[in-house]
Chains A and B, each alone.
Chain A
């Protein structure tokens, strides 16, 4: 299915909960209201016209004025792509977990939680993944985070 058609279906189904944004690949891309992410993800996976069965990548982004969770999706059945973005507030960023929809999201969400401090509600296994067990230096992937032994590069 071409990108316009996917965009049409999503716009028709979710109205103002989704907003189209620009990316270079994996078009179309939508900004989704973070409260309805579960609903949108369920729909794009289960709808036979879309059936996005592969969660190709999932990334957390610190946008300085807030956070963002990016879902890069692909469908083996229709060979089409989709990017979803859920913006989150700077204070207490929280979003529903999609591990029940794509099991592959499980580790990505654990990683995003420990590196960005974005909480995933109803996550089946919210343990830290990569950092040491006794880590207490905050969320390292946030912009402006500096480790205790950080030495800045000399300015050119």
Chain B
């Protein structure tokens, strides 16, 4: 039978909601011609907890534990993204030591978050060893964070005006040990994956995202830096005490999946550098500024954004002068990054959907909130 006689038809495949590569609950409806994707429609909302509505019924302090649940892989950033605009609104000056502790915690969390991505991304591609390596190191970071705030995932550590408690004795020494331990580990990851022919075959030239499309779809974070744009809020719009540390912003060249991979790998090194510098120069002093128990910021509106592991994380907060926020809007990196999936996946093979989705590093609770 020759090709003309063969009848083909377009068919639809449901990928998810419970698919191992969606890292949470997300459904893609794929319109396929053979193995080729004609159209991809993402369906989200399975993890919608209405965190924005909850905020309107809680005081500012009560809402901090809820922010942990926005992105449980990098909860420190969600904490910070919420308390930072509130402090701005109320004009609270945070003690220097508190800011240093925050930076140390956030950068450790960034490494942990990138390690989760690194492990699961390689797992999606069929490599199991990197996953085990990544979680070995992540365990050490979580141990460190547990020492400080008693939690391993939902930290609830930052407060308006500082952090909930000071660093425990011996933390600095332990953290310095980790920094030294972690330095050669990144090389180890690179040895297994970066130039692996199978890995290169799966990621090189797959999911090319040109810069204009990325900006048009509001893609931010490592995925945007992968397109070659040197843009990092820590450097370009310094918040906290980031302007005191010396670090680079890694960027990609071809904006394919491999570039997004290498940007995150390099970012782990840079974060480790920041932690090292912060540990060396942490000042003594207060870890929290005294804030009245019934905290009422003056009425006003503020939008403030930070560089989270998955892109720009921003809180748009409207205060009417009462103890509860009038409106909280949460802008997360994943929410906008997943929106570009239909564009990236047009015409690719079904196996590449997993790679492209993995390389965007989307965490579903952050999308649904």
Contacts and interface: CB of A to CB of B under 8 A. Distances in A.
Interface of A: 22-26, 53-57, 59, 61-62, 70, 72, 76, 79, 83, 102-104, 106-107, 115, 128-132, 140-141, 143, 153
Contact of B217 (A61, A76, A104): A104
Nearest to B298: A24
Range of interface residues on chain B? 35 or more
A132 B213 CA distance: 30
10 contacts: A23-B303, A54-B215, A56-B312, A57-B305, A57-B331, A62-B327, A102-B216, A107-B336, A130-B44, A141-B53
Contacts of B312: 56
A103 B339 contact: yes
Given A55-B218, A72-B303, A104 B339 contact: yes
Interface of B: 44-45, 48, 50, 52-53, 56-57, 85, 88-89, 213, 215-220, 229, 231, 236, 300-305, 312, 314, 316, 318, 327, 329, 331, 335-336, 339, 368
Contact of A131 (B48, B88, B335): B48
Contacts of A102: 216, 218
Contacts of B339: 103-104, 106-107
Q: Tell me the dominant secondary structure on chain A's binding face.
A: loop
B303 A76 contact: no
Contact of A56 (B44, B300, B305): B305
B254 to A, nearest CB: 20
B217 A140 contact: no
A77 to B, nearest CB: 10
Contact of B302 (A23, A103, A129, A141): A23
Q: Which of A22, A103, A106 has the most CB of B within 10 A?
A: A103
Contacts of A103: 213, 216-218, 339
A62 B328 CA distance: 11
B311 to A, nearest CB: 11
A142 B279 CA distance: 46
Contacts of B88: 24-25
A140 B303 contact: no
A140 B302 contact: no
A70 B302 CA distance: 12
B217 A56 contact: no
A73 B313 CA distance: 14
A130 B368 contact: yes
B301 A76 contact: no
A115 B51 CA distance: 12
A153 B57 contact: yes
B45 A129 contact: yes
B314 A129 contact: no
A149 to B, nearest CB: 13
Nearest to B88: A24
A130 B45 contact: yes
Contacts of B331: 56-57, 72
B44 A129 contact: yes
A104 B338 CA distance: 10
B216 A53 contact: yes
A106 B336 CA distance: 10
